[in-house]
Structure 1
Amino acid sequence: MTHTPADRPEDLYPKLDNLTLSRKEGFRRVAEAPPRRQPDLLTRAQLRALSPAARKSYDKLRRIWHANLGPIKTPQLKALQEDLWDIVDSNLQDGDKPKGAIAVDAFPGLGKTTAVLNFAKKFHLREIEEEGAFTEAGHERWPVARVGLTSNIGMKDFNRALLEFYAHPGRTTGTATQFVQRALDCVLQCETKLLIIDDLHFLKWKFKNGKEVSNHFKHIANEFPVTLVFVGVELERRGLYSEADDSGDVTLAQTARRTTPLGMDPFTVNNDKHRHDFRSFLLAAEKRLVLSEKHPGMLADDLADYLYIRTAGHIGSLMTLINRGCHRAIRSGTERLDEDLLDEVKLDAASEKVRKVLEAKFKSRRMTARPRPTRKRNAA
């Protein structure tokens, strides 16, 4: 479904602030928002025929659209979400049995948070459709809760953040024990089944607060009827799965035993299957671009090697490069993506660091992002 330059961007999608996911109403706005509608693709002649006001409106529509291209269903996203469904749907044990937790552990820029939140959106919609927006007791149903950690967070801080998500009136004052009980009441009354804990790498496991919150996670797994989903970077190295710390304390062992690690990998181009996966992603992204001079194969054929060299296959960097390139193409009037234009686009430091290494490998033909052409064989 598309829309025209006459549509106003503010009428097409709700505004979402940076704190949206920290509160239940904001999460619902994200989960229940209608799909974004792709602007109509106009030719050069049609662009020139627009009035100045219509052109400004159309370009604003395109800016908003290109800034929100994802998520694209990559093999990595599909695989992660299949695993999430397996674990979450299998956690239907009776109340006397603890539920298994999930740790989504991957380097920055690989789309782990995007994939988890996309899954949470689907889970929210399924639960509301099957069970209704209100519980039998008349409370609002909130299938998903999310808490983002900050540095040196303690148990009381964590529970306060959880109460903040539910907008509980007792979220500002009380003891740590009272906060825990209020949080449990919210989970039970709202029939929350999925608790996402983002940025877990901020937790300092070997310090007092880290052990305190780790033990609290075990309490949640034992007492709260929810599946815990941890999201973070290098969680294994930071101690999530450690059997004991340097002092011999084994308080982390139970968390490790009950937590299933999941990950996401960057695109690789070391064989034809992986190259086909990368090409499929580029074709999917290409279809979403609203540039007057785009053509079939603009990304997947003309720019496959270039895009891989610039981003090393990290989907976050890929989407950023394409997004920024589209904005520059619109502003400059180029209305297409090519190497000359993308060379002007600045990218993250990690991508720029490996660019020269990859350029040398691609130039010497030791690497390529293009699948080998398949030859038609005549039947005997």
Structure 2
Amino acid sequence: MTSPDTPPTEETSAGAVTTFDAFARFAATAPPTPPQPGQAPRSLEQRLAYHSQFVTVRTPAIETLTPQVRTLMILGRHQQMTARPSLIVTGPATTGKTTALLQVGRTCHLAHTRGAAPGDDSVPVAYVLVPPGATAKTLAGEFARYLGIPVTARMTTAQITGAVCHTYTAARIKHVLIDEIHRLNPRTSTGAEAADWLKDLTERIPATFVYAGNDVTASAVFTGARGAQLAGRASLIDCLALPARAGEREPFRELITALEQALDLTSHRPGTLPRLAPYLHERTAGRIGSRARLIRQAAIEAILGHSERITKTLLDTITLDHLAKSTTGPAPPNAVPGPLIGDRPHHTQAIATAASRHHATTRTRPAAHTAAARPGHRLLPPALRRPAGTGTYRRANHPAQNRRPTQLTAQHQTASSAHVSSGAGHSASRKPPPPNEPTAQYS
């Protein structure tokens, strides 16, 4: 067992507890504890490691999930013919779903080990991550890997499934925690096969299944007939961002206060972070993961910078994750504002519009339409050209000449043709225009 002051290793991180040995070490490792009165000061490395791990504050999702899992376990204890009721923890990213799932698994594991008889080798909890692009075989392989069931490349899905069901039943697993459930996509053939396999597993293993995923109700997990089967057996627990105020309570400020009390900084002033709760809520959008990272990183910066206190000035220098920055919150101090066109002042819009028109009229023309390709002629200015496919002669865009276009009617065209035919005899005596005189081009 590692002490609370040791830095977290890869085996005890949330992404590496997908084997029984790793999960057992994670559950048995004492969580980091804040400094106690009369305790000897910790070293620099110990305090950095402590803020790297930091404490886990009981969120509303953890408080709701723990009793519901216990109730569902009792509800489905003697249910044999059909799948037992299950739970789904859903919500946006970085709202503490995986943390809640792991904390519930740790609680169940510790409760079992405290009451287990000597020699009891049963496994109370299984924790499985749904792999990206999961198929029935790869998902079955993840279940087998958790208990160390040997799997070969030649084994079929049915063979792996039989070994998993037999071993999980023999190990008397009571809770199966499945994370990243949103990766299942029943709309594809492989995803539908994996969803059917998981449904079959819930009916063959006498355990309570708890799922966690990002916005499960809006994903493909609940779509179609397969999604309806899962939705009909699972209760939802929403793990949302904490509001600044809920009735007479201030949930976000309460959690900020609990985190401040757990800091191990020598010069930090108590009450600083609760007073900054509106600012912290705006920057993190109430997301638990973003809030925890911001405070942990600020504490580490305060230790390394020898200030030993967290201030708003220090918090302003911390760069948050992209999701929190894109959701809400002010721009970093060194960011250059780049407003959209709709947000620009009128004179800025006018300048931008004029620049775009100038660019449109001065763009490079193909070589076939240049004056060099047609000796003796100069092209008309763009404002005097006739739009292709019309009989409209467009005049120059000038205030003095800003009149409506002249459209040649059929009567005018007939009269013009007659006038040209009557003057055909004089056409030969006309002199051609000088080479440098511009000639109107209508074709």
In structure 2, the partner of 1:89 is 74
> How far off is 1:205 after superposition?
1.7
Residue 262, structure 1, aligned to residue 247, structure 2: no
Amino acid in the other structure paired with 2:91? A
8 Å CA contact retained: 2:62, 2:100 = yes
Distance 2:305 2:143 in 1: 46
Distance 1:269 1:315, change over 3 A: same
Distance 1:274 1:312, change over 3 A: farther
In structure 2, the partner of 1:365 is none
Distance 1:114 1:16, change over 3 A: same
Matches within 5 A, 1:1-380: 9-10=5-6, 16=11, 18=13, 20-39=16-35, 58-132=43-117, 134-135=119-120, 140-170=121-151, 173-242=154-223, 244=224, 250-271=225-246, 273-275=248-250, 277-301=251-275, 303-353=276-326, 354-356=328-330
Distance 1:115 1:26, change over 3 A: same
Distance 1:201 1:274 in 2: 32
Distance 1:229 1:8 in 2: 28
The secondary structure found in structure 1 opposite 2:273 is coil
> How far off is 1:85 after superposition?
2.7
Amino acid in the other structure paired with 1:142? V
The secondary structure found in structure 1 opposite 2:240 is coil
Q: Which has the higher contact order (CA 8 A, sep 6+)?
A: 1
Percent identity for Structure 1 against Structure 2: 23
For residues 313-340 of structure 1, the C-alpha deviation after alignment (integer angstroms, 9 at most, x for no partner) is 1111110000000010001111011111
> How far off is 1:107 after superposition?
0.5
Distance 1:152 1:349, change over 3 A: same
Q: Structure 1 residue runs of 4+, over 6 Å off?
A: 12-15, 40-43
Distance 2:44 2:167 in 1: 44
Distance 1:233 1:270 in 2: 24
8 Å CA contact retained: 2:88, 2:235 = yes
In structure 1, the partner of 2:338 is none
The secondary structure found in structure 2 opposite 1:195 is strand
**TM-score normalised to structure 2 length:** 0.68
For residues 55-80 of structure 1, the C-alpha deviation after alignment (integer angstroms, 9 at most, x for no partner) is xx711111111122232013343123
Larger radius of gyration: 2
Amino acid in the other structure paired with 2:282? I
Distance 1:75 1:228, change over 3 A: closer
Structure 1 residues not aligned, in runs of 5+ = 1-6, 48-56, 245-249, 358-380
RMSD: 2.6
> How far off is 1:17 after superposition?
5.1
8 Å CA contact retained: 1:14, 1:29 = no
Distance 2:153 2:119 in 1: 26
Compare 315-324 and 87-96 and name the one that shifted more: 87-96
Amino acid in the other structure paired with 1:290? D
> How far off is 1:150 after superposition?
1.9
Distance 1:252 1:305, change over 3 A: closer
The secondary structure found in structure 2 opposite 1:92 is coil
Distance 1:272 1:253, change over 3 A: closer
The secondary structure found in structure 2 opposite 1:147 is strand
Distance 1:16 1:39 in 2: 25
> How far off is 1:351 after superposition?
1.9
Amino acid in the other structure paired with 1:230? Y
The secondary structure found in structure 1 opposite 2:221 is coil
Distance 1:304 1:66, change over 3 A: same
8 Å CA contact retained: 2:27, 2:106 = yes
8 Å CA contact retained: 1:41, 1:291 = no
The secondary structure found in structure 2 opposite 1:38 is coil
> How far off is 1:151 after superposition?
1.7
Distance 1:317 1:63 in 2: 19
**TM-score normalised to structure 1 length:** 0.79
Distance 1:310 1:292 in 2: 26
Distance 1:209 1:76 in 2: 32
